[in-house]
Every structure is written in C-alpha cells, then in structure tokens.
Amino acid sequence: MKERHILNKLGLLIGLFGALAVIFGAFGAHSLKAVLPADKLATYNTGITYHFYHLFAMTFAWFAMSKTSGKWAKRSFWCFCIGIFLFSGSIYLLATRDLIGLVNYKWLGPITPIGGLFFILGWMFLGMSFYNKNVN
C-alpha cells in the first residue's frame, strides 16, 4: 500500500516536470524568440529537447518501478529527475543569463555535464532494472 502511495506521488512529479517542459517550451517559442540571438535560442531549445526526452524516460522508469522490484528503476527515475534539473535547468539559465543578470555566474557551465552524467546513469540503471529482475 505504501509503495502504491509513493508511485502516485512520483506520478505527480512526472506531471509537474511535463507541465514545466511545455511552459518553458512555449516561453522560448513565443517570448524568447524576439529577444535572444539565434545561437542562444538554439541552446535553450536543446534544454527543452532533453527535458522532454528524459521526461518520457522518467515515465518509463516509473512504469518499470511498478512492474519490477524497483531498486534499479527507482535509481533510474531519480537520475532522470536530477538530470533534467541540472542539465536542462542549467541550459535554460545559460541561454538566458544575459537577460536575467547571471553573466558573472561562471559555475553554471560545469553544471550541464553533471546533469548529462545523471542522464547516462539513469539509462544504465533503467537497463539494470530489466536485466537484474524478473518482470511481473
């Protein structure tokens, strides 16, 4: 019963991340298009693309948690979640930093590959969730 409750809460988190992906995508397409140079807009769109790809991966990991013992799938889910936050989040900030006054924040650049590492781990853990355990 507790496991079902946790899965429901994680499902809500997927919904939140999905809503944010649409909001950020619409913001980029409609508001930022007029104020960002083409290269910065392309960078911002890379963040949107990876946000959506890994939102679907989070959903798949969530589904795997409900069908397997869940240890590796749960790790995968959280890696994708952290990866979206670090990778896409840092790209959103890097692309818009001139507009929002973050020009002097040099630490933003190294955050992006850390987020990418979490994406890689997420995919590896997702594979382990099916390799290591029997599917119900």
What pLDDT, on a 0 to 100 scale, did the predictor assign at position 6? Answer: 78
pLDDT digits (tens, 9 = 90+) for 63-101: 888 877 678 999 999 999 999 999 999 999 999 988 888
- What is the rounded distance in angstroms from the CA atom of residue 108 to the CA atom of residue 103? 10
- What is the rounded distance in angstroms from the CA atom of residue 47 to the CA atom of residue 5? 31
What pLDDT, on a 0 to 100 scale, did the predictor assign at position 103? Answer: 75
- What is the rounded distance in angstroms from the CA atom of residue 76 to the CA atom of residue 62? 9
Asked whether 21 and 45 are in contact (CB, 8 A), the reply is no
Contacts of 22 (CB under 8 A, 6+ apart): none
- What is the rounded distance in angstroms from the CA atom of residue 67 to the CA atom of residue 74? 11
pLDDT tens for the chain, 136 residues long, are 567 777 888 888 999 999 999 999 999 888 898 898 999 999 999 999 999 999 999 999 998 888 776 789 999 999 999 999 999 999 999 999 888 887 777 777 889 999 999 999 999 999 988 875 554 4
Q: In whole angstroms, how large is the CA radius of gyration of the chain? A: 17
Asked whether 91 and 119 are in contact (CB, 8 A), the reply is no
- What is the rounded distance in angstroms from the CA atom of residue 129 to the CA atom of residue 36? 41
